[in-house]
């Protein structure tokens, strides 16, 4: 059983700005009634200031879809078009408190409707993923294309079919498209890894200086607060040799200090392959 926040329940039971603006300055339709959720969004915009004066919606779907659409209209009324363009599905989720992961696609539908409506108003190209004739339909149950799945994987760093399903429903019905979705996920991340700039490794001197800096600013102050201290002794490859001083020397929690405090901080801020070893006096 899914759990919903009070905010979700409130916007479902008493949704705001339901309806349709006559002669709107911008409008958008996303989703598909025959495949599940659908949203019709209309906007009234001051053409001199580009401020969104009013927003109304009609939604066919579940309570989360209604709540997401309702809170979307509240988020954008009073904002300029440029400000509204920055609103993401995560802003909708945050405004609602949270959404069950299986209902994230409702917030994504709201973001896509907003993007499409604003693109129409600005006479910009409508994002390809909002058109039904772009790309190959992978999920026939919900009419989701490969280009939309790839965009969602990229934008939200999705790594599993279940995550893709939560964001767009693809793969959530007959499951015949699961292997194709897995292929898209793999392809997107392979391309990202290929295009990722290779970071030039630090020289030994640079690494020692960086380790010393982290010890001085991040590690030593924590140890000194408990009467302890630490000194960098040597660096061989990725093995960092240190000496614990003061109350830390011989302490029964010394191993915890080395691994969970010193090593963890150096992995985080210097090199994930670092290992810390203690040199006892």
Q: How far apart are CA 253 and CA 83, in angstroms?
A: 51
Q: Where in the chain are all domains bearing CATH 1.10.10.1100?
A: 130-198
pLDDT of amino acid 130:
52
Which position has the token pair 């690494």? Answer: 207
pLDDT above 80 for 278: yes
Q: Which CATH architecture fits 1-126?
A: Alpha-Beta Complex (3.90)
pTM, to two decimals: 0.62
Q: Which of 26-40, 75-89, 203-217 has the lowest mean pLDDT?
A: 26-40
Sheet of 275-278, strands arranged across: 228-236, 239-246, 275-278
DSSP state of 172: S
pLDDT above 60 for 11: yes
Taking Cα atoms as reference points, which of 216, 148, 219 lies closest to residue 181? 148
Which position has the token pair 């191993």? Answer: 255
Q: What mean pLDDT do residues 126-154 have?
A: 77
Q: Where in the chain are all domains bearing CATH 3.30.300.130?
A: 204-278
- Give the torsion through C-alpha atoms of 198, 204, 210, 216, to 10 deg: 160
pLDDT tens per residue across span 175-197 = 999 999 999 999 999 998 888 77
What are the catalytic residues? 35, 106
CATH class, domain 204-278, is alpha beta
Q: How far apart are CA 177 and CA 146, in angstroms?
A: 11
Q: Which of 30-39, 89-98, 136-145 has the lowest mean pLDDT?
A: 30-39
Highest mean pLDDT among 1-10, 74-83, 270-279: 74-83
Topology of domain 130-198, CATH:
Arc Repressor Mutant, subunit A (1.10.10)
pLDDT tens per residue across span 13-36 = 999 999 999 999 999 999 877 666
β-bridge mates for residue 58, sequence order: 40
Quickly list DSSP for 46-67.
Answer: -TTT-BEEEEEEEEES-HHHHH
CA distance between the termini of the chain: 59
Q: Where in the chain are all domains bearing CATH 3.90.1010.10?
A: 1-126
């Amino acid at each position: 059983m899914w759990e919903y926040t009070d905010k979700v329940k409130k916007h479902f039971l008493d949704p705001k700005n339901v309806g349709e603006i006559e002669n709107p300055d911008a409008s958008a339709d996303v989703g598909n009634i025959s495949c599940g959720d659908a949203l019709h969004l209309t906007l009234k915009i001051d053409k001199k200031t580009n401020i969104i004066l009013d927003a109304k919606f009609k939604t066919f779907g579940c309570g989360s879809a209604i709540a997401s659409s309702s809170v979307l209209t509240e988020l954008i009324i009073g904002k300029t078009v440029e400000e509204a363009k920055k609103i993401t599905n995560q802003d909708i989720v945050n405004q609602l408190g949270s959404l069950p992961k299986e209902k994230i696609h409702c917030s994504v539908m709201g973001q896509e409707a907003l993007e499409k409506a604003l693109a129409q108003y600005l006479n910009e190209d409508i994002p390809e993923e909002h058109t039904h004739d772009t790309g190959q339909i992978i999920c026939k149950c919900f009419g989701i294309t490969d280009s939309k799945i790839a965009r969602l994987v990229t934008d939200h760093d999705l790594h599993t079919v279940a995550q893709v399903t939560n964001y767009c429903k693809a793969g959530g019905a007959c499951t015949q498209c699961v292997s194709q979705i897995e292929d898209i996920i793999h392809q997107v991340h392979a391309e990202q890894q290929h295009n990722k700039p290779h970071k030039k490794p630090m020289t030994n001197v640079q690494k020692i200086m960086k380790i010393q800096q982290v010890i001085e600013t991040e590690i030593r102050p924590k140890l000194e607060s408990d009467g302890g201290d630490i000194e960098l002794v040597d660096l061989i490859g990725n093995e960092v040799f240190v000496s614990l001083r003061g109350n830390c020397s011989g302490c029964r929690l010394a191993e915890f200090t080395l691994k969970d405090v010193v090593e963890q901080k150096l992995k985080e801020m210097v090199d994930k392959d670092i290992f810390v070893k203690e040199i006892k006096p």
